[in-house]
Structure 1
């Protein structure tokens, strides 16, 4: 068994309409699924990705209208990366973010890669990462109707940053339970802190990395809007997912057991620092219940919720996702 890389990252927004505008109009991602939080059907779950939501390209959001301010800290997923094709694309994005008044830090280096750190309107910590020298997991393909040129657009999720106070328990889970290996490190931007360690799995590269940051100066994160709820890693299929469940049980790691999310099968557990990990299958995917040309235009409900559609729709604020770019 070997994890294939990042599957998706799920975060929190307090406003689905504003979130939809930013991620589709400003960042040019495609809304590939407008559905509900299956654990709380009263709120939206929005999936932004490449042209059809290939595994490894999905950034998702739960809408929690009452979500408060996030207070950054340890035991958190503190940064999400989005991959772009090359260094030239970063120059385009630097100009685009400036033009739209989006807070960013300009193009900098992260190890041997060029990156561009920025914040969304709810202060989620995001990074555009250049795939210029990537030789690992391949990226996806920009949607033909994106608001961003196809040679500049976002092609998937990049490295996910975890921030902890005590790194050893997290390292043990990454390397001894999961299939990550440390492949490098780079200096922390915070004076006096350890270098940020880079761990990779599968084919490696930008689509298969976790970056582990140690912060001795921060309390535990208090999550709210703009915080990240969990990161999911890619598993081939349901049979392999069942093997992962057995392994977690053997290692006495409490877990959810297999969960059917309809678009993929999942397994959830928390590593010792309290960060929520998910293992998710590559399929069946988002075209299971919608035509590829019309992904995200209507409220999609897994079959077990279909009988309650009227009640569910009545509890959701209208969100028009049919407008062309």
Structure 2
């Protein structure tokens, strides 16, 4: 029973319209599902990914208009990486960010690969990570736009960074419960801080890493717009999902119990530093209720919400994207 890597990362936005413009027009990602937050159907839930909405490529957003700012700190998913194919692509993106006035840093090496850190308009901390022939979990299918050619497109999720006051309890869950392996470490940007620790699962590589940043000097984070709600890990199928549900039960780890999101099955639990983890199946996928060619073009609702479509649509604010 082994996790395959990252499944998705879910973030909070105060404006679905501006969010859509950034992730599709600036970053050139595909909107692969426009649906609702199943726990609050008055809120949109937008999924961006590769050309096919492949597991391991999605960055998702809960739309909460008027949401306040995020206050950075510990017990927090502090950055999300997005994979590109080559180091050459980082030069393309650096020039594009400069042209469009996107906040970004210089190209730098993190965990042995070249990267480019930047932020969206709500302060979400993102990092482009170049695969550059690295072995490991396969990337997704390129999605090209007029301004972002396929050779430079974003092809999946890369490492996710957890910032915690005390890393040991989190490390214990990663290794002893989820089956991650220690891979190594790399220096923090500030040489006076502890090294950032690297753990991997599945076939390893960029799409299967968690980085842990120890920051005992910080207070707990307060999530707002641009803050990361949770990170999800890939479970290959329903059979292994059932086994994971039993494992969490046997270990007496408090969790959500089995949750059917229709597009995937989910299990949620908080690790000791209070970061929300999710285990999500690769199946059945985002084309379960609409053709691959038209993913994200209409409001999709899972079958258990479809009978309430009229009421849900009446309560949703108009979304002009």
TM-score range, shorter chain: over 0.9
Matched, 1:90 2:90: yes
Measured at CA, do residues 66 and 153 of structure 1 come closer, stay the same or move farther in structure 2, by a change above 3 Å? same
Unaligned regions of 5+ residues in structure 1, if any? Answer: none
Unaligned regions of 5+ residues in structure 2, if any? Answer: none
After TM superposition, the structure 1 stretch with the greater mean CA deviation from structure 2, 263-272 or 311-320, is 311-320
Q: CA RMSD in A?
A: 1.0
Shift of 1:144: 4.3
CA contact (8 A) 2:5 2:204 kept: yes
Paired with 2:77 and 2:274, the residues of 1 have a C-alpha distance of 10
**Could you say which residue in structure 1 is the equivalent of 2:281?**
281
Paired with 2:293 and 2:247, the residues of 1 have a C-alpha distance of 39
Paired with 1:77 and 1:146, the residues of 2 have a C-alpha distance of 32
Paired with 1:45 and 1:17, the residues of 2 have a C-alpha distance of 12
Paired with 1:140 and 1:130, the residues of 2 have a C-alpha distance of 14
CA contact (8 A) 1:5 1:208 kept: yes
**Could you say which residue in structure 2 is the equivalent of 1:215?**
215
CA contact (8 A) 2:31 2:47 kept: yes
Number of matched pairs: 321
Using structure 2 for the length normalisation, give the TM-score. 0.98
Using structure 1 for the length normalisation, give the TM-score. 0.97
What do residues 192-213 of structure 1 show as CA deviations (whole Å, max 9, x unaligned)? 3211000000000000000000
Paired with 2:92 and 2:200, the residues of 1 have a C-alpha distance of 28
**Could you say which residue in structure 1 is the equivalent of 2:20?**
20
- Say which SS state the counterpart of residue 303 (structure 1) adopts: coil
**Could you say which residue in structure 1 is the equivalent of 2:241?**
241
What do residues 106-129 of structure 1 show as CA deviations (whole Å, max 9, x unaligned)? 211113210000000000000000
What do residues 81-118 of structure 1 show as CA deviations (whole Å, max 9, x unaligned)? 00000000000000001111000002111132100000
- Say which SS state the counterpart of residue 96 (structure 1) adopts: helix
- Say which SS state the counterpart of residue 304 (structure 1) adopts: coil
Paired with 1:302 and 1:235, the residues of 2 have a C-alpha distance of 20
**Could you say which residue in structure 2 is the equivalent of 1:152?**
152
Shift of 1:320: 3.8
**Could you say which residue in structure 2 is the equivalent of 1:298?**
298
Shift of 1:179: 1.3
**Could you say which residue in structure 2 is the equivalent of 1:188?**
188
